[in-house]
Amino acid sequence: MIVEVFGKVLRELREANNISQEKLAEYCDLDRTYISLLERGLRQPTISTIFKLAKALNVSPSEMVGKVELQVKE
């Protein structure tokens, strides 16, 4: 469940920043297919990946995780 919620939050943040999966992957030095897997809840990010994603999406890692926490509690 948490992995799926993380993926939803990631997609929301990416779309709010008007960034494609390809561009986000480029900014984070990750593969585009990995971004897709994260957004679909098929992979779980490491802490270092969360930091890379947060930086590219102009949020703090704690804000990103906080959004996941809030949605999990709902």
Q: How confident is the model at residue 70 (pLDDT cuts 50, 70, 90)?
A: very high
| Domain residue ranges in the chain | 2-73
Distance CA(51)–CA(74), nearest Å, equals: 24
For position 11, what pLDDT does the model report? 98
Q: How confident is the model at residue 74 (pLDDT cuts 50, 70, 90)?
A: confident
Residue 5 has pLDDT above 90, yes or no: yes
Give the model confidence (pLDDT) of 14-68 as tens digits.
999 999 999 999 999 999 999 999 999 999 999 999 999 999 999 999 999 999 9
CATH of domain 2-73: 1.10.260.40
Distance CA(17)–CA(73), nearest Å, equals: 25
